[in-house]
Chain A
Amino acid sequence: MELLSLVTAGSVDDGKSTLIGRLLYDAKAVSDDQLEAVERASLRLGLEDASLALLTDGLRAEREQGITIDVAYRYFATAKRKFIIADSPGHEQYTRNMVCGASTANLAVILVDARNGLNEQSCRHAFLLSLLGIPHLVLAINKMDLVKYSEETYTRIREEFTSFAARLRIQDLTVIPMAALTGENVVRGTEHMPWYGGPTLLSHLESVHIASDLNLIDARFPVQYVLRPRSGEHRDYRGYAGQMAGGVLRPGDEVLVLPSGLSTRIASIDTHDGPIEEAFPPMSVALRLEDNLDVARGDMICRPRNQPTVAEDLDVMVCWMDRQPLRPGARLLVKHTTRTVPALVDDIDYRIDVNTLRRASADRLDLNDIGRIRLRAAQPVMCDTYQRNRITGGLILIDPTTNQTVAGGMMTAGGGRGREGDAAESAGVAG
């Protein structure tokens, strides 16, 4: 069964937790004991009805203070699909949390309160989501019951958002008017908005086409581990284990190993259950090569006529996630596919003002800032632009002194030095 991973975004009072609670409840993904726990907690907080929002509060401090601290993951399934919901809180650490939740999502739901329309946060969220290359976006105009189910309100917010989104690279946008509290247009339809002919949220989630979200064109195989049993019947076995990051590979294909640049052919594609005829994302397999080359973890196997950029100088759009600001001259570790290399921050090209989408020159990036930096890696990195391939175009930065993950990064120019174009464009945003 197909699995759809979605992330929700919205500010504190837009009804995000209520929407998720409603989705889980109406899709019958809430068990009786969980519901009882929510009823007990609601009573303690002095609420009259069981608050569905409490279903998503996981930690003691969250339930006691009515806040959300960290990304929470929820799971449910219908007859058509399985779903993972990453619920990222809208406050303080919003950039970090949303970027984490969105990095693996197929679809994002941005909630706005119909009474207030778009706010700074909705635009910021839309920008972040487009930066992370989320293929499908849903604008959920919530609390329609509080604006008398007004079509005019819906149209105004939709148009406002569409004109803002025209500056972003958003492939697929669906706008749904709903009332999460009453459940209208979440799982079941409603007679209150006869002017709306579109799907409910759940039926959209069940039917949106996600099969083509992975890159099946550019063959990329980052070597994760070298399998050498060195005993018994497999004494001479040498296989390269990893997960397909792009394209399709078959036995007999001519391949190139980077960064060495040596070429050979695929002898076989092995799995625990025996050899297979083709491998594509997200399969994990072991490749055996015809020639005995020196291949190690962190190498990239691709095709001679379709190679990633091999570069030491990298242009990267980063979301900075550490309390200590990023400054030029910082020494960090780049983790990209299965390769970890030391790198130096050469320069900060600019910081993006996420409210105006304008670039501003900057000598540092603070917590939750987005900006483009230039990195010089100690060894070559084999990468594609993030827009082309989310796996070979994404990286994380690690502070070697604290071992913390301090940034998420997306390759922009693939090692190129192009500095033209406005900030929005190089951020994966259409002009």
Chain B
Amino acid sequence: MAHLARRAFAPAPVPFPALHVDTGHNFPEVLELRDRMLKHLGIRLEIALIPEMIAAGRLREPPGTISRNRLQSQALLDAVDKHGFDALLGGGRRDEDKARAKERVFSFRDAFGQWDPRSQRAELWHLYNARISSGTSIRAFPLSNWTELDVWQYIAARKIELPSLYYAHRRPVFERDGMLLVDNQFLPREDGEVVRELQVRFRTVGDMTCTGATLSSASTVAQVIEEISRCRVSERGATRADDRFNETAMEDRKREGYF
């Protein structure tokens, strides 16, 4: 997304900032590349820091939960209010999830960020109606019609740098609910969970507490493309604990104001 924005406005600077809704449970590799890449592309960064919001009493963590995934919606809305954003551009794709497959490129959200699948605006040709009433804002998904494979082919064609997490590397992981989670300080081991060092990579990267790794030996872009072409498990199905709550997890979170 950052690269596309840069290409769209070159040689002028990108006229909007990047926003990171930061749970505080990050992979250090992601933060390092985030800062370096945005600096290189000349894009300003705004951060909505969930730990800071919790400390200030603006967010409350449900007792006993570790993942801050559900707090992201609130933090996002806070940032929309604070900065007066009319629209947020996101990298969501329709091939990721059943609910996303039905979402328009321009998704209109009320003051609570809620998505109403039954009252979406008609989208014809490439004529997008971006008019909003006060109190509403837009989530726009320019990559709606890209697939995971398209993204990787684009990365190959443009030689885009990614965090090393997306390529095969050795990492201590443990198994929970059929997923390989990263051994990290935020997530206490439960009984019987054994940490092993395996060769893995990540297909999506989110919060450290809910992003699962996949066994992989693909260490170059070409090998990743080859691996995806043969893969029989969908990206979110394989690796995202947050979508595993139930069959409509993504739909429910979108209705609650999630991106």
Q: Does B51 sit within 8 A of A, measured CB to CB? A: no
Question: Does B144 interact with chain A (Cβ within 8 Å)?
Answer: yes
Instruction: Determine the chain A residues whose CB is within 8 A of the CB of B118 once the complex forms.
Output: 69-70
Contact A403 B233 (CB under 8 A): no
- Given A75-B147, A77-B147, A398-B129, are A100 and B12 neighbors across the interface (CB < 8 Å)? no
Is B21 among interface residues, defined by CB-CB distance under 8 A?
Answer: no
Given the interface pairs A57-B98, A75-B145, the reply to whether A99 lies near B124 with Cβ below 8 Å is: yes
When each residue 125-139 of chain B gets 1 if its CB lies under 8 Å from chain A and 0 otherwise, what string results?
A: 111010111000000
Q: How far is the CA of A314 from the CA of B124 in the complex (A)?
A: 19
Cβ of A162 under 8 Å from chain B = no
Contacts of B121 in A (CB 8 A): 404-405
Q: Count chain A residues whose beta carbon lies closer than 8 angstroms to a beta carbon of B.
A: 58
* Cβ-based interface call for A305 (8 A): no
Could you tell me if B124 and A72 are in contact, using CB atoms closer than 8 angstroms?
no
Interface residues in B, total, Cβ within 8 A: 43
| Residue A229 at the chain B interface, CB threshold 8 Å | yes
| Residue B117 interfacial (CB < 8 Å) | yes
Chain A 27-42: CB-based contact to B (< 8 A → 1; otherwise 0):
0000111100100110
Q: Is A237 an interface residue (CB 8 A)?
A: yes
Q: Check B101 against A99 for contact (C-beta < 8 Å).
A: no
Report the separation of the CA atoms of residues A344 and B124 in the bound assembly, to the nearest whole angstrom: 21
Q: Are B234 and A70 in contact (CB under 8 A)?
A: no
Interface centre among B95, B101, B117 (most CB of A within 10 A): B101
A70: chain B residues within 8 A (beta carbon): 102, 117-118, 120
- Known A-B contacts A75-B94, A84-B145; A33 and B247 likewise in contact (beta carbons under 8 Å): no
Kindly specify which of A190-198, A257-265, A357-365, A388-396 makes contact with the partner chain. A388-396
Give, as a whole number of angstroms, the nearest-CB distance from A144 to chain B. 29
B27 to chain A minimum Cβ distance, whole angstroms, is 24
Q: Which of chain A's residues 213-268 have a Cβ closer than 8 Å to chain B?
A: 225, 227-229, 231, 234, 237, 239, 241, 243
A residues 95-147 touching B (CB-CB < 8 Å): 96, 99-100, 103-104
A404 to B98, CA, bound (A): 25
Q: Chain A residues near B238 (CB, 8 Å)? A: 33
Type the 1/0 row for A263-289, where 1 means its CB is closer than 8 Å to any CB of B: 000000011100000000000100000
State which of A99, A231, A390 has its C-beta within 8 Å of the C-beta of B122. A99
Question: For the complex, what is the distance from the CA of A9 to the CA of B20, rounded to whole Å?
Answer: 41
How far is the CB of A181 from the nearest CB of chain B, in Å?
A: 22
Bound CA–CA A75/B237 (angstroms)? 16
Chain B neighbourhood of A103, CB < 8 A: 124-125
Per the bound structure, the CA–CA distance linking A82 and B146 in Å amounts to 10
- Min Cβ gap B181→A in Å is 17
Q: How near does chain B come to A356, taking the closest CB pair, in angstroms? A: 25
Known pairs A104-B125, A403-B133. 11 more at Cβ < 8 A? Answer: A41-B247, A58-B251, A60-B251, A69-B118, A73-B94, A100-B122, A227-B12, A228-B12, A390-B125, A394-B127, A396-B127
Which 3 A-B pairs have CB atoms at the shortest separation, nearest pair first?
A33-B237, A58-B98, A272-B7
User: Can you list 26 A-B pairs, Cβ within 8 angstroms, ordered by A?
Assistant: A31-B233, A31-B237, A34-B234, A59-B99, A59-B102, A59-B117, A60-B248, A60-B251, A69-B102, A72-B101, A73-B102, A77-B149, A82-B147, A104-B126, A234-B11, A237-B11, A335-B129, A390-B125, A394-B124, A396-B124, A396-B127, A398-B129, A403-B131, A404-B129, A408-B122, A408-B124
